[in-house]
Structure 1
């Protein structure tokens, strides 16, 4: 049976997940930053894991404002805005230096710096956090779905913006991706003044 991965919809749960990601002394900063980048850029986990240091940082270690890449799954071009996660990326860069991690990959494997962290290993990280918090819906796409849900809510339900950021071609697939169940739909409709 395939696991259903949903966005984290409440701030308390999101903070708990972030705290647990950071808690691991050896790789917590990497895992936390990976989650934050995925959430802020709305990239698929495969695209986040394939980012290189040179994609994100200038030669002097400054965080780039935007990057351009092609989605691995769709091949579509994607302009990615990094300002929302700039602070975390600055801290992470200093952490990489302090840990003496030299890799071309933004999120290297700790076993072999010449490889990036695998999506399977990141799934284990998220699954473990799910078990600790008694949440059965965390997975590798949690960060992307959470970011999309937060953009949707905080942009006053601008589905067009979310579709564009996710590189989706239909509103119905985006709404489904956001995990909008009947209760969420009813809450949204309760806020509408039908005159």
Structure 2
């Protein structure tokens, strides 16, 4: 069975803006979900569980605080690691969220499924939406997890490649985990592999 390819980040401001413009056309829900994902770096599985009251609380105190859950398989034992991560509510995201929740009830899911009242959207649906958006612009392996990876990669570039900062902002346990997460080793390997083209005369 072929190994599943990891999700890619959306690299570059223009590509991120293109995806946003595309999602505005598919619906406000998809657009706001994407923006929330890339602005906070929260896992899609945690984002889809958010309710309007959670957003109101975050807007009130100026920070998101989500207990992030990550499934871990070890010797066929499935467990869940839960840890809080705090992220600032940035200005443009605050403006967008205030408009989006206007008129919504506190108990409603922030991102409702279109299949039924007060049911949250599934992560698989988020992946399907983002895959279609990525394909529109020739981007490969864009999934729900690409939002978190886009957040990470953007911070990495903006911080002038401070991987320790990215590690802390993602809540990773080690630098090696963050390097692997950003695909830095793979990027380097591919770069030097491509240099071998100079050895081949066509």
Same fold flag (TM > 0.5)? yes
CA RMSD of aligned residues (A): 2.4
Equivalent in 126, 139, 159 of residue 135 of structure 1: 139
Q: Secondary structure of the equivalent of 1:33?
A: helix
Q: Secondary structure of the equivalent of 1:71?
A: strand
In the alignment, is residue 13 of structure 1 matched against residue 21 of structure 2?
A: no
In structure 1, the partner of 2:89 is 82
Q: 1:92-171, aligned counterparts within 5 Å?
A: 92-94=100-102, 97=103, 104-171=108-175
Which structure would you say has the larger Rg? 2
Q: Which runs of 5+ in 1 are unaligned?
A: 187-195
Question: Is residue 152–residue 162 contact of structure 1 (8 Å, CA) maintained in 2?
Answer: yes
In structure 2, the partner of 1:182 is 188
* Higher share in strand: 2
Q: How many residue pairs get matched?
A: 177
User: Which consecutive segments of 4 or more residues in structure 1 shift more than 3 A?
Assistant: 61-64, 100-103, 183-186
Distance in 2 separating the partners of 1:111 and 1:71: 26
String of CA shifts for 1:96-145, please: whole Å, max 9, x gaps: x3xx7885211111222321110011111011112222222211111110
TM-score normalised over the length of structure 2: 0.78
Deviation of 1:4 (Å): 2.7
TM-score normalised over the length of structure 1: 0.81
Q: Which runs of 5+ in 2 are unaligned?
A: 71-80, 193-202
Distance in 2 separating the partners of 1:10 and 1:47: 25
